[in-house]
Amino acid sequence: MTLSDQRFGLYLVVTDPVTSYEAVTEAAVKAGLRYVQLRMKSADRAQIVATARRMRQLTYGTETRFIVNDDPSIAVEVEADGVHLGQGDMPIPEARRRYPQLRVFGLSTHSFAQMEAAKAVLPDYAGVGPVYATPTKAIPDPVLGVEEAGRIVRHSPWPTVAIGGIDEARLPDVIRAGAVNFSVVRAVCQSHDPYAAICALQDKWRAACS
């Protein structure tokens, strides 16, 4: 694994954007983000598939890997690059066996114990959070705080993505605590200029990492 595979900065999760799913995805591709994930928790399957197909068209053949949240069957149907699985979703070993077409399998972790347990399933990357309180989940996981999130990240043997309540102002503290990459939802999806928001976050990340 190269350094660029481990350090890529912003992993963008797209949920309820004020512009459109397409506009945010186009901005992610234009900015050269490594990952963009579709997360539509309350939508029906047909709506998710339709949105995912449009996002896949925009990311196909680019540097940006398209990830579908929760459901590997949808990821395969739309020819996504991978799937992101939560602690209550299909286990990664089963998903790898049933959906070998997918190249990337991410996993959410919410504690040191869950990161330790993840060593048995070997995700390609792991989300770590929530770092701060966030309203983007109906039933939020306990807040880790900056220092504990950093401790979990430092313990991880694979790439990690700090997530939960991170914005441009909080990002330097998250990086100083040990995070290498980070994820946002609202900081980009609630912006009417998602490309500018992405660029500002990536610039702040580069400055914090230097």
Q: Is 123 helix (H, G, I), strand (E, B) or coil?
A: coil
The token duo for 1 is 């694994």
Taking the domains of the chain in order of start, what are their residue ranges? 3-209
Mean pLDDT of 50-76: 97
Mean pLDDT of 190-196: 98
Sequential DSSP letters for 144-205: --HHHHHHHHHH-SS-EEEESS--TTTHHHHHHTT-S-EEESHHHHT-S-HHHHHHHHHHHH
Instruction: Judge whether 189 and 17 are in contact, CB under 8 Å.
Output: yes
In the chain, the amino acid numbered 57 is Q
Mean pLDDT of 50-71: 97
pLDDT digits (tens, 9 = 90+) for 3-51: 456 899 999 999 999 999 999 999 999 999 999 999 998 899 999 999 9
CA distances from 89 to 38, 47, 95, 202 (A): 16, 20, 10, 30
79 — alpha (psi -120 to 50), left (phi > 0) or beta? left
CATH class as words, domain 3-209 = alpha beta
Whole-number mean pLDDT of the chain? 94
Residue 139: per-residue pLDDT: 67
Greater pLDDT, 138 or 157: 157
Greater pLDDT, 100 or 4: 100
Greater pLDDT, 52 or 133: 52
pLDDT band at 141 (very low <50, low <70, confident <90, very high): confident
Closest to 86 in 3D by CA, of 101, 103, 72: 72
Asked if the model's pLDDT at residue 210 lies above 90, the reply is: no
Threshold 0.75, pTM exceeds:
yes
Residue 2: per-residue pLDDT: 45
